[in-house]
Structure 1
Amino acid sequence: MHDDSTAHEPARSEVDALEGATVVEFGASWCGHCRAAQPAIAAALAAHPRVRHLRVEDGPARRLGRAFRVKLWPTLVFLRDGEEVARLVRPTAAGEILQALGQIDHAA
Structure 2
Amino acid sequence: MMHDTYAVAQPTRAEIDALAGPALLEFGTGWCGHCRATQAPLAAAFAQHPGVLHLRVEDGPGRALGRHFRVKLWPTLIFLKDGQEVARLVRPLDSADISRAFALIAA
TM category, shorter:
over 0.9
Structure 1 vs Structure 2 CA RMSD: 1.2
> 1:90 & 1:5 partners in 2: Cα distance?
16
Matches within 5 A, 1:9-88: 9-88=10-89
1:97 corresponds in structure 2 to 98
Q: How many residues align?
A: 106
Task: Provide the rounded CA distance (Å) in 2 between the counterparts of 1:2 and 1:18.
Answer: 17
- Name the % identity: 58
Q: What do the CA deviations read for 1:3-57 (whole angstroms, capped 9, x no partner)?
A: 4852111100001101000000000111000001000111111110111111000
CA distance in 2, matches of 1:58, 1:6: 9
Q: Specify every segment of 5 or more residues in structure 1 that has no aligned partner in the other structure, as ranges.
A: none
| Structure with greater proportional strand content | 1
The answer to whether the 8 A contact 1:2-1:50 is kept is no
Q: 1:2 to 1:94 in 2, by over 3 A?
A: closer
Q: Distance in 2 between matches of 1:5 and 1:14?
A: 18
Q: TM-score, normalised by structure 2?
A: 0.95
Shift in CA distance, 38/10, structure 1 to aligned 2, threshold 3 Å: same
